[in-house]
Amino acid sequence: MNTWIIVLRLIHVSGGVFWVGTSLLFDFFIIPSIRANDQSGQKFLGHLINTHIGEAHGISAILTALAGAGLYWIDSQGFASAWTRSAAGLGFGIGAIFGFFGVITGVLGALPLRTLAETAARIQESPTPEQMEKIQVAQKRLFVISRIDSAVLILALIFMATARYWRF
């Protein structure tokens, strides 16, 4: 077996586990907990962001996507073989499209998350009306984006994990 394929698969699978895992953890557990705990939730978010989890999440998304593109390039012989039209090729291709949307929604979700963290860091005792408005707007955006992000990443995961078994 080609060493490049092994390296790319390790990066793609382990990076994908971290990327999708942290996304789902944020979307289904951390963000709702932050919303439910107002000021203490905002302080927690500020601390969590300072741990650089956002950067690790973004790096894992990019590495996963690049490694996946490399694997697809190798399997399809430069996007030139009939494999791209096979059931596996189509399954991986559809999964890649959902993964690409996951990268986009991840970037879009990072913006309100950063706003929340920066606003929370500026709060002294209780938030001012302006800070509260910023927090509420960012939370609403983050809630919508995180649901879309979860959906596309779950679909990417389903297609990637089962691509070899599809019959189109």
pLDDT of 1 strictly over 70: no
Averaged pLDDT, 159-167: 92
φ, ψ for residue 144, nearest 5 deg: -65, -50
More confident residue, 21 or 111: 21
Q: What's the pLDDT score for residue 105? A: 94
Q: Which of these ranges, 37-51, 63-77, 84-98, has the smallest mean pLDDT?
A: 37-51
Burial class (CB in 10 A: 0-12, 13-18, 19+), 35: middle
pLDDT of 88 strictly over 70: yes
pLDDT of 49 strictly over 70: yes
Q: How far is CA 14 from CA 33, 37, 73, in A?
A: 27, 32, 19
Q: What's the pLDDT score for residue 54? A: 82
Q: How far apart are CA 100 and CA 122, in angstroms?
A: 34
HSE-CB of 159 using CA atoms within 13 angstroms? 21
Mean pLDDT of the residues in the chain:
89
Location of structure tokens 């408005």: 133
pLDDT (tens digit per residue) in 107-138: 898 888 888 778 877 877 778 888 889 888 98
More confident residue, 146 or 34: 146
**Paired tokens of 55:** 């950067």
Tally of domains within the chain: 1
Location of structure tokens 């990066």: 11
Averaged pLDDT, 154-166: 94
Q: Which domain holds residue 124?
A: 3-165
